Amino acid sequence: MERREVVFVDGVRTAFGRAGPQGIFWRTRADDMAVKVVRELIRRNPKLPVDRIGDVIFAATAQVGDQGLTLGRDVALLAGIPQSVPGFAVDRMCAGALTAVTAGAGEIALGACDIVLAGGVEHMGHHPMAEEVDFNPRFVAERLVDTSAVTMGATAENLHDRFPQITKEDADAFAVRSQQRAAAAWQNGVMRETVVPMAVFTDEGWKGADRDEFLRPDTSLEGLAGLRAPFRAGGRVTAGNSAGLTDGATASFLAGEEIAAELGLEPKMRLVAVSFAGVEPELMGIGPIPATKRVLEQTGLTLDDVGLFELNEPFAVQVLTWCEGMGIDPEDERLNPYGGAIACGHPLAATGVRLMAQLAYGFKERPLVRYGLTALCVGMGMGAAVLWENLGAGH
């Protein structure tokens, strides 16, 4: 049996809120955030019959509390999807939603499903990183990993050590660019097309969560220069050149290409290839380098064939190491044209579909671009990369 082609039909996200009591989602359940994006996705795609969904796959890094029940099934039932549609949860930390997509794509490619709903949610306010994790003492006792591997900021400082040519000034300059591009994207429409406004209850009553809370369009190099480095004395990683702790949810529809045609859907891009890679846990930020190289090897393409890159930005230095490793200018217009996580935040397991939704929008704006890449690094030393083909006319 030949592999079926898989297409990305549509993807949306909530606004990304500041984690903690001051954040817009503090009084909102994680699974309710996921339900919101699912219901909006269904509303936006009326030609897609919900009873044809073959699986609902949702990711969370903290598989506890209000995001602890088998999320795909939990969210599907809460969203009113027929009980005949199954679902499950997945965890690959920062690559959660991306892995939900690739797992669903595998089901479609094998013919097990026609349509899959895949996404992720992370309420980092309710579930701070590693709070409910019991690390095996062997990790340290047997030196299986460096102790810095469990502190993401420390791994970013390690990248500065490994790549001394990447300075704090370089990281700050990248952060300023991310904020400027995100501000322009909010003005120009990409976010209006991909972000779902949500009514939420707060200490001041009901409010609309409709804008990312970490946006700082007036960010300047001078302002960033004075920020303290919390992970190391004299360090180079600051709140200004990192993604903030964030609450958010994302969801997407995937389908077999022939099913999309049968239903009269207008898919935005076709999945070409997928790669996951492992690296030293204490240098987890380099993970996208081998993942990107592998995904290109699978296809016989080179970076010159790829016209758009959507890379996650947990730390500016992390993206800069990818640029260094892949020979890409950090100011390249192909890279994160709408800004990234430094400006909008990184709700761990949700981020992968944000990257895809922005890439799909980028394809629409650039019909001559044929291929695009979504990639990110993953805690405990991994990287992920997915190559997509633009289904718009022109290339």
Residues annotated as part of the active site: 94, 346, 377
What is the C-alpha to C-alpha distance for residues 104 and 255, in angstroms, rounded to an integer? 9
* Of 19, 12, 14, the residue nearest 247 (C-alpha): 19
Angle (CA) 91 314 380, round 5°: 45
Residues 169-197, buried b or exposed e (16+ Cβ, 10 A)? ebbbbbbbbbbbbbbebbeeebbeebbbe
What is the C-alpha to C-alpha distance for residues 342 and 177, in angstroms, rounded to an integer? 10
Residue located via tokens 């930020």: 285
What is the C-alpha to C-alpha distance for residues 87 and 111, in angstroms, rounded to an integer? 17
* Residue ranges with strand state E in the chain: 6-14, 17-18, 53-59, 87-90, 115-123, 195-196, 198-202, 205-209, 246-256, 269-278, 306-311, 371-378, 382-390
Strands 195-196 and 371-378 turn out to be: unpaired
Task: Tell me how far apart the terminal alpha carbons of the chain are, to the nearest angstrom.
Answer: 30
Output helix, strand, coil percentages for the chain, rounded to the nearest 5.
40, 25, 35
Distinct helix (H) and strand (E) counts, the chain: 13, 13
Q: Are 67 and 31 in contact (CB under 8 A)?
A: yes
* Of 314, 339, 294, 288, the residue nearest 129 (C-alpha): 314
